[in-house]
Structure formats: structure tokens, C-alpha cells
Chains A and B, each alone.
Chain A
Amino acid sequence: MMTISYVVGRPNPLDFATNPGVSDDAEKIRHESDELKQSFARTISFGDRLSRTLEDLLKARHEYSEDNWDGYGARGIDKQSFENALRFALSLPSGIPAPNIDVMPSGKVAFIWSEGKRRVFSVIIGSRNELSYAGLYGVTKTYGIEYFNDGIPDTILNNINRVYS
């Protein structure tokens, strides 16, 4: 028999104290507890990334609400682009690193993943569900347009992964 208890005050909530047993039941419980830990870890990681992204989107909406925010005639944040960006953020798979959120001079919201200035992929979220994307990987460039309907297109996900590969 194995018992699992959470020790109050322990810094990592995933860190359970265990009392190892030897029976089949103990082995089953040990297996289930491992699964629970992994599931909990995924939930925490997904929640953190998503909440940070949503917070950044809200910050951007506030920061870029007015036209001419750069003095060069940039447009204030596009309402429809912002709403589509929220949907895009919620659709990102949990394994994707947190993007940087920005607003372009066109007023459209952009999601940016980068590992240095020569390894960057960005997506501008259009007001009609169009996703304008561009990537720079060393000297290799890619760009194009995809559409965001049922989910995030594979082209976008593959390019995000390419930044970190």
C-alpha cells in the first residue's frame, strides 16, 4: 500500500511525499500519481503561457489604442484583429512557447517568436481571419498568407517550431 500526501509548505506542489509500498495496488497508485503529476504540470505550464499572452494582448490594446502612437502615422489597434488575436491565442497548442505580442503600424496585432534577430517568425492577425506570416532562419526566408478558421494551420505551427529547432 502506498499513500500520497501533499506536504503543506513544500515549495513545489507537484512534489508529493510518498510512502512506498510493494503490492500491485501500490504500483497502480504510483503509476496514477505519476500521470497526475504530468497532467498537473501541463496544466500549470499551459495556464501560465496563456495567461501571459492574454495579459500582453490586453496591455497592447491599452498601449496602442490611439492613432499615431509612433508619431509616424501608425493606426490604433484594429478591433477585429484584436478579437481574432484572442481566438488565435486560445487556439495555440500547449507545447508552443509564449509569443511576444505587438501591434504593427497598420494597427494589426502580431504574434512574434524569436531566438535572436536572425531566427524570428511572426504572424500578423488580420481582421478577416487572414494570417500574414514571415520567418527568417539564418539566411533563409519564408512568407505567405494562411487563413484561421477551424484551427491554426500547420504551416504556422511548423514555422513556430522551426524557430526553436
Chain B
Amino acid sequence: MALSNIVSPNESLGRYLTDKNYFSRMNKEVKFKAFMPPLDKCLSVYRIDGLQLDEIWDIGQNMVVLAMPQPRKLYGVADIKAGIVEREKLEIDPDDVPPRHANIIGWPEDQAQQMSIAQGLAAEAILVLKE
């Protein structure tokens, strides 16, 4: 079933964790680094609402990790509600390329402000580890 072009505030977005310093296994929390925007300021996420865990890992493995130029390990996913992203004055662009993909955009230029937003997102995100 095709997803709506409008992302509802209650929808879960998944930021796939491909660096071991994106989370703390001991504290069971996502670190703000996972939400720091890349150079193009398009933070890649997937719309994972209603998916089973194995479907979430399939997307992570096939659409994220295998699509990367160098092999990466998929550690897990940071689950964040779309409404929290919007509360931070960011926008969600559900480009659906590949299917279910979206970008979190609208980041400020100022690195300190980016970090403050990323801290806010990390505080609200739920850590789901693969193993």
C-alpha cells in the first residue's frame, strides 16, 4: 500500500544506526550524533510506522547498508516521531526514493543550533538494537 504524501505527526521515522557511536548500548539511548545533519543537510530516515521488526531490518540492510559505497554494519534504528521533528522547526520531505524514504530538512546553518536540535531529537528517540 502506498504511503500518503503527508507525514502525520504520530508517524514513526527510523534513522538507521551505522556507527557504534550513534548510540549507547549501556545506557540504552540514542546519542545526538545520530541526528547531526550531513553536509548536504538532508538527514536520511525511513517511514517505519506499522512495520514489523524484520521488515525494518530488511529496509536497513537492503536500502541503507547495501546502498552505501563501503560495507557498514547495521546496529539498529533510532525511532523518532514526526511530530517531534516538526516541533524542532524541521521539515520532512517524503521523497519515497527508495520506497518509504524521507529526508529531514530545513536545518539551520549554525552548527551550535544544529547540535541543540540534534540533542532534542536524541532525547526523544527510542533506541531499537538489531541483536
Contact = CB atoms under 8 A, between A and B. Distances in A.
Contacts of A110: 33
Contacts of B120: 136, 141
Contacts of B21: 102
A134 B70 contact: no
Interface in B1-51: 18-19, 21-22, 27, 29-33, 36-40, 44
Interface in A120-150: 120, 122, 124, 126, 132-136, 141-145
Interface residues of A, number: 31
Which residue of A104, A108, A134 has the most chain B CB atoms within 10 A of its CB atom? A134
B115 A71 contact: no
A46 interface: no
Contacts of B22: 70
Interface of A: 68-75, 102, 104-106, 108, 110, 116-118, 120, 122, 124, 126, 132-136, 141-145
Interface of B: 18-19, 21-22, 27, 29-33, 36-40, 44, 64-65, 68-70, 72, 110-113, 115-116, 119-120, 122-123
